[in-house]
Amino acid sequence: MNLMALLAARREAGAPVRVGLIGAGKFGSMFLAQVPTIVGLDVSAIADLDIEKAKAACRTVGWSEERLEATAFGEDGLALCDRDDVEVVIEATGNPRAGIAHALAAFEAGKHIVMVNVEADVLAGPALGRRARQAGVVYSMAYGDQPALTCEMVDWARACGFRVVAAGKGTKYLPWFHEVTPDDVWVHYGLTSEQAAAAGMNAQMFNSFLDGTKSAIEMAAIANATGLAVPSDGLQFPPCGVDDLAHVLRSREEGGVLEANGMVEVVSSLERDVRPVFRDLRWGVYVVLEAPNDYAAACFRQYGLRTDASGRYAAMYKPYHLIGLELSISVLNAALRGEATGATRIFQGDVAAIAKRDLKAGEILDGEGGYTVWGKLVPAARSVDLGALPIGLAHGVKLSTDIPAGGMVTFADVSLADNLAVMMRRETEAMA
């Protein structure tokens, strides 16, 4: 990749890559853990609503007091975006409204931004990506997170001349997980609430992974970056191990589960009867590809690649992802090459808020991973036609009508004030 050679040249020129981090949570902390061993990559500033907690995170990952003293800490992410000693902004708050504001501030200041905040990207990423291109800066997915890694595999397959049949990731899923709330999430992770609290784990955040919302968000991001289609009525989460990817993830006409070839999908590590899937892909990502001709299909066989029965479909996968430990790849690509590690360009997929239970007018929605709604992947055009309320705006808003369990919440069902996030969402919807 030559990133280290490019970084060495910058270091020798006395111009290290300088980064500003907004949000020193788990993802940000994992990045901070790697910084001291990447010579020529400096964190100039860290913004977090709890400055002492951010400093504690730096100490936890092994930062020296000297490095801490050389880093500016503050609460204001917008101010960080405007700093002269920041070249690349990492947005890792997880708050979609904050993420949109920080992205626009970074563009205005001429800074590249790595958007760890997939929630913001799915809410308004197409419009943000267009704004970034107009500003001449990089707007990038976060390498190490599953969307960026999947986009990389899709790009690899296409650059090799293969047709992409399916792409996505693995997760732990059962149909009734959509109804799980933060009150009962820990049993599914094999933890007690006391153990989770001692580890500083946020129940609502972890529940968003379990109830299907995070999977929907990540698949929407992949679709919006690659142009792959999304299922017309949500993800299916078929149980599937790595040996069966090419068999299961092809069109129904050919014996698979997809509506059509060329779609995103998530595979479950659990059979529907709760048995574990053999050689599951719970922590990884995959791409299913099709040989463009008989010669290429013969090469699959000759080189031991596992295929479907026809011999034309095969899969490549990455069994693990290292989250923030890999984030520097995005930072360095942005600063040294002016390239994104995956970037939203079109509005292909959206994530609509779906009632977890019967909801009554007057109730306040509590967003991703909460007690009231979960996020369902839907085609963007259908979402716009139905006026679906995106999961990224379904937090802290009051219902004006009753919604039955399993019903889709729409803009017409809530009282929502105009703000920057809503404005950028409307700009995104116009791109559907």
Cα-flanking dihedrals φ and ψ of residue 102, to 5°? -65, -40
**pLDDT higher than threshold 80 for residue 1:** no
**Residue 267 belongs to what domain range?**
147-173+212-320
**What gap in Å lies between CA 374 and CA 392, rounded to an integer?**
11
Instruction: Please report the pLDDT score of residue 256 as a whole number.
Output: 97
Pair 70, 28 in one domain: yes
Same domain, 127 and 152: no
In a domain, 181, yes or no: no
Gap between the Cα atoms of 323 and 311, Å rounded: 34
Q: HSE of 2 in the Cβ direction (CA atoms, 13 Å)?
A: 4
70 inside domain: yes
Summarised one tens digit per residue, pLDDT across range 15-60 is: 999 999 999 999 999 999 999 999 999 999 999 999 999 999 999 9
The reported pLDDT for the residue numbered 418 is 87
Q: Are residues 157 and 283 in the same domain?
A: yes
Structure confidence by residue, pLDDT tens digits, 91-132: 999 999 999 999 999 999 999 999 999 999 999 999 999 999
- pLDDT for residue 432: 84
* Same domain as 384, residue 332: no
Q: Into how many domains does the chain fold? A: 3
Q: Are residues 302 and 358 in the same domain?
A: no
194 in any annotated domain: no
* pLDDT score recorded for residue 32: 97
Q: Express as a percent the part of the chain with pLDDT over 90.
A: 94
Question: In this structure, is residue 403 part of a structural domain?
Answer: yes
| Domain-embedded: residue 195 | no
* Lowest-pLDDT choice from 62-71, 180-189, 197-206: 197-206
Whether 158 and 83 map to the same domain: the answer is no
Q: What is the pLDDT of residues 162-192, one digit of tens each?
A: 999 999 999 999 999 999 999 999 999 888 8
- Is 82 among the domain residues? yes
Assigned token pair, 408: 């889709």
CB 162, CB 261: distance < 8 Å? no
CATH assignment at residue 137 = 3.40.50.720
d(CA 133, CA 337): 15
- Are residues 332 and 298 located together in one domain of the fold? no
Residues 329, 410: one domain? no
Whether 197 is in a domain gets the answer: no
Query: Are 135 and 33 part of one and the same domain?
Result: yes
Same domain, 151 and 299: yes
pLDDT in tens, 308-317: 999 999 999 9
pLDDT, the chain, mean: 96
191 falls within a domain: no
Read off φ and ψ for residue 198, nearest 5 degrees. Answer: -65, -30
Share of the chain above pLDDT 70, in %: 99
CATH number of residue 391's parent domain:
3.90.1210.10
